[in-house]
Homo-oligomer: A and B are copies of this chain.
Amino acid sequence: MTLLVTGSIGIDTVEAPSGTAIDALGGSSVYFSYAASFFTPVRLVGVVGEDCPAHFLQPLRDNPNIDMGGLEIRRGSKTFRWHGKYHDDVNQRDTVSVELNVLAEKGPTIPEPFRDSRYVFLANTHPGLQLELLSQCAQADLVVADTMDLWIATETTLLDELLGKIDGVVLNDAEALQLSGQTNLIRAGRTIAGRVKRFCVVKKSEHGSLLFADGKVYPFPGYPVEDVVDPTGAGDCFAGGMMGHLASESAAAAPVPTLRRAIAYGTIVASLELEDFSLNRLRAITREDIDARLREWEERTRF
């Protein structure tokens, strides 16, 4: 089943203890679509400025499972740029600079041939834009969105409206506490799951994730990575692996067993991605590598 993702495309500069990547390919839709492409065809919707070098998106174009038909190169605009610096403890990072550029302008439009997409992931952006994009996907069977602290704090009404219209939401632990007003993560996830149609996934970075669905909570440990090179994009790859598996299984009803398998896949793809900068690691692996790590992880998490 075809999977559509809307989100950012960015020119990232990342400083990390293990090195520096300058003007690297990044952005939520980029990481998501590459991760999902191991499982299913993906349609990418995003906007860059005319400053974006022609070769910059080549890794996406070279991927036969990514349809770039939703890419807009906007005249007179500049591409989103982000510069981050990770601490020795790579769970901590500072934003050195952000240039929203094209992301501060009007959002992308979903092209006509993409409007029949049945699986839709709305990566983090203004919830008003997420609602607008969702309204362009009238045939969607399974819609999942991400969000962030800024919108939780400033756009409560629109975010509420969005939550009521989507099947699932993926967000990190701090965001889940903030959105729910709870101090316990289990209560937080349960509360949020009650505000969407089907499920809530709370990401806890190195500590794994929690799935809330059908009134139950399912915990997942993190995949232990010793040499984290660059955590940028890991959350988007998690969502990409998860949605990719759901779409590949045509599991629009998102039954819990399929959701759990999807989250395991998301965990594994994310664990691979953060072993190198940008898409470097994902470009060097195959679906076989993902399945092998998943099997190995499965073995190591039995008790």
* Residue in B206, B207, B219, B301 whose CB lies within 8 Å of A300: B219
Give CA–CA (A210, B206) in the complex, Å: 11
Give CA–CA (A227, B182) in the complex, Å: 12
Indicate if the CB atoms of A207 and B208 lie closer than 8 Å. Answer: yes
Is residue A216 within 8 Å, beta carbon to beta carbon, of the partner chain?
yes
Indicate if the CB atoms of A221 and B206 lie closer than 8 Å. Answer: no
Q: Given A208-B219, A219-B208, A221-B221, decide whether A303 and B226 contact each other with a Cβ distance below 8 A.
A: no
* Residue in B88, B190, B225 whose CB lies within 8 Å of A186: B225
Indicate if the CB atoms of B300 and A88 lie closer than 8 Å. Answer: no
Indicate if the CB atoms of B218 and A206 lie closer than 8 Å. Answer: no
Give CA–CA (A58, B185) in the complex, Å: 36
Q: Given the complex, which residues of B lie within 8 Å of A224, measured CB to CB? A: 186, 210, 217, 219
Q: Mark A122-144, 1 if CB is under 8 A from B, else 0.
A: 00000000000000000000000
Q: Mark A173-215, 1 if CB is under 8 A from B, else 0.
A: 0000000000111110010000000000000101110100000
Give CA–CA (A223, B184) in the complex, Å: 13
A30 to chain B, nearest CB (A): 26
Indicate if the CB atoms of B88 and A226 lie closer than 8 Å. Answer: no
Is residue A84 within 8 Å, beta carbon to beta carbon, of the partner chain?
no
Q: Given the complex, which residues of B lie within 8 Å of A94, measured CB to CB? A: none
A-B CB proximity, top 5 nearest:
A219-B221, A207-B207, A264-B303, A260-B303, A89-B183
